[in-house]
């Protein structure tokens, strides 16, 4: 069930941008590149567990019955099991629309009414220098139809996708270079003509 929910969440924001004329073909194609490996891993894990739990071998059954109770009490195993089952450990590194590990963005500021709201978030450190702040404001303004700038007490310039995954992150000291990478990443997956008109 979690796989299906993550599939929908990965696809719905991409379809929304495309249907509103703001996303392009590369954005849509990223769905398969991102979700196919996850689905393959779920199927392989399910196959392995089915074989392990249903083995006809008495020796394997005895080992299984002795090892599983011991291992399942270990905190690292429990943590890894919950992350795998919930798919909170999924990352989209290698995606054509992600630079970096593509991990989930966990931040209390996104809870409640201050969530993502179907937009990219450009998260900027409160203490960034004024020229970087102006450049970030211009970037967010040129993509105002899909990008919202938020200031947070964090040390990075981070682009968070509408599904809550990090598309790009770099230390704030990289300033305009990081923002150039963010712009390039946005242009690759959106209709840049609309971004130019919105500027």
Q: Could you report the per-residue pLDDT of 107-147, keeping only the tens digit for each?
A: 766 665 556 667 899 999 888 899 999 999 999 999 998 99
Do residue 115 and residue 64 come from a single domain? Answer: no
Q: Judge contact between 23 and 14, C-beta under 8 A.
A: yes
Residue 52 has pLDDT above 80, yes or no: no
Q: pTM to 2 decimals?
A: 0.79
Residue 6 CB neighbour total at 10 angstroms: 20
Residue-level pLDDT at 39: 86
% the chain with pLDDT above 70: 85
Q: What is the mean pLDDT of the chain?
A: 84
Residue 80 shares a structural domain with residue 158: no
Instruction: Convert the pLDDT of each residue in 153-191 to its tens digit.
Output: 877 999 999 998 999 999 999 999 999 999 999 999 988
pLDDT (tens digit per residue) in 61-98: 787 788 777 777 788 776 776 666 667 778 999 999 99
CB 61 within 8 A of CB 55: yes
Q: Does residue 174 share a domain with residue 122?
A: yes
Q: Outline where DSSP puts E strands in the chain.
A: 120-125, 147-152, 156-160, 166-171
Structurally, how many domains does the chain consist of? 2
117 and 184 share one domain: yes
* pLDDT level of residue 193 (50, 70, 90 thresholds): low
CB atoms within 10 A of CB 26: 13
Residue 16 pLDDT more than 80?
A: yes
Q: Which strands sit side by side in the sheet containing 147-152, from one edge to the other? A: 147-152, 120-125, 156-160, 166-171
Look up the domain containing 122 and give its range: 108-198
- The DSSP 8-state label assigned to residue 115 in this structure reads S
pLDDT of residue 73: 79
Question: Mutual orientation of helices 2-19 and 25-53 as an angle, nearest 10°?
Answer: 170
Domain assignment of residue 73, yes or no: yes
Distances (CA, A) of 89 to 6, 118, 121, 166, 189: 12, 22, 21, 13, 24
3-state class (DSSP) for residue 138: helix
Helix (H, G, I), strand (E, B) or coil at 136: helix
């Amino acid at each position: 069930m979690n796989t299906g929910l993550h599939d929908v969440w990965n696809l719905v924001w991409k379809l929304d941008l495309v249907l509103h004329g703001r996303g392009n073909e590369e954005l849509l194609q990223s769905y398969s590149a991102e979700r196919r490996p996850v689905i393959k891993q779920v199927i392989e894990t399910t196959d392995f567990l089915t074989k392990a739990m249903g083995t006809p071998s008495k020796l394997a059954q005895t080992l299984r019955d002795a090892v599983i109770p011991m291992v399942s009490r270990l905190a690292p195993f429990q943590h890894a099991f919950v992350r795998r089952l919930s798919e909170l450990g999924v990352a989209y590194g290698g995606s054509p629309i992600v630079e970096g590990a593509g991990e989930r963005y966990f931040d209390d500021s996104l809870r409640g009414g201050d969530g993502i709201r179907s937009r990219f978030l450009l998260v900027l450190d409160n203490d960034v220098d004024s020229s970087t702040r102006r450049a970030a404001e211009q970037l967010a303004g040129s993509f105002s139809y899909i990008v919202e700038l938020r200031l947070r007490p964090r040390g990075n310039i981070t682009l968070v996708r509408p599904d809550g995954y990090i598309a790009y992150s770099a230390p704030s000291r990289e300033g305009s270079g990081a923002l150039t990478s963010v712009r390039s990443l946005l242009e690759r997956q959106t209709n840049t003509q609309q971004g130019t008109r919105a500027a």
